[in-house]
Structure 1
């Protein structure tokens, strides 16, 4: 299956900055709470001064936290790179952005090779598909560790549209995936 895409501007992601601000604010709240408790104890003891030794709140049981789920970010299709993991199972036709995610979590595919088209003029959609198919097939064995015909995995590719090609965006990206299911971690050297 050939997947085509066109260039687009990147979208900014502000979620991490907001999460960081929330963590900073929660830490400040704990310090303020401890100071207020110390001041209250000093008043209860009939003293106007705050104790010179810091007091610590009673130890609370430490809850084991589960690791955060990998975040997903839409990036410009021409900004993906070898090693990126994607959640792109539902993508068809022309796209300008691709959802990337951390490879340590479940994902649909992984970019395993890329090249720039050898054509100097738009060769037509079928010729572009043929070039991508040939290149990705040649690169498959060196990434997975077994020939394509012996592998449980399949591959696909992202190719430029005519408009993108004529604007000198001529990259071809090969992606490997496990048909019908997500994978976790890289498939490099999977040998299956």
Structure 2
């Protein structure tokens, strides 16, 4: 019985430790499927699969800013060609809010889109992100 209580105590302490580490690890990160217009990203991901993005206040230097989120309709996963058609709307969305962006070589576009796995979790968002090289401070629309 004492051994059982000791093991339970150790498991509880380990669980608390994992929870604390998780809170600090996500402190300045946003889950990719929760990104919204106006979120600014300190550094763009280099991985093909993006789970979280490092976010910051837009007044701080950043490498990207979410400027549009386009929701796809519900239903079965539409396949990559439909996803591509939706993400091809991102350049026009950028021009609608920042018409001079097309002539600015320091601005690019990065897109987050649903995968078959995230689609099963109700992810329908095409997230359009303006990228900046070099980093900039302030919002894209300022």
- Report the Cα offset of residue 95 of structure 1: 1.6
Residue aligning to 1:146 = 100
Instruction: Report deviation, 1:130.
Output: 3.0
Equivalent pairs, count: 119
SS of aligned partner of 1:91: coil
1:157 is paired with a residue of what secondary structure? strand
Aligned residue for 1:140, secondary structure, equals helix
Q: Secondary structure at the match of 2:140?
A: coil
Gaps of 5+ in 2: 1-21
**Matching residue of 2:61:** 106
- Report matched runs for 1:176-191 at 5 Å: 176-178=130-132, 180-188=133-141
Moved over 4 A (4+): none
- Residues 1:122 and 2:77 aligned together: yes
2:39 is equivalent to residue 84 of structure 1: yes
Q: Give TM-score, length-normalised by structure 1.
A: 0.55
- Structure 1 runs not aligned, ≥5 long: 1-10, 15-71
Structure whose alpha-carbon radius of gyration is higher: 1
SS class of match (1:156): strand
- Structure 1 residue 119, shift from structure 2 partner: 5.9
Match of 1:46 in 2: none
Report the aligned-residue RMSD.
2.2
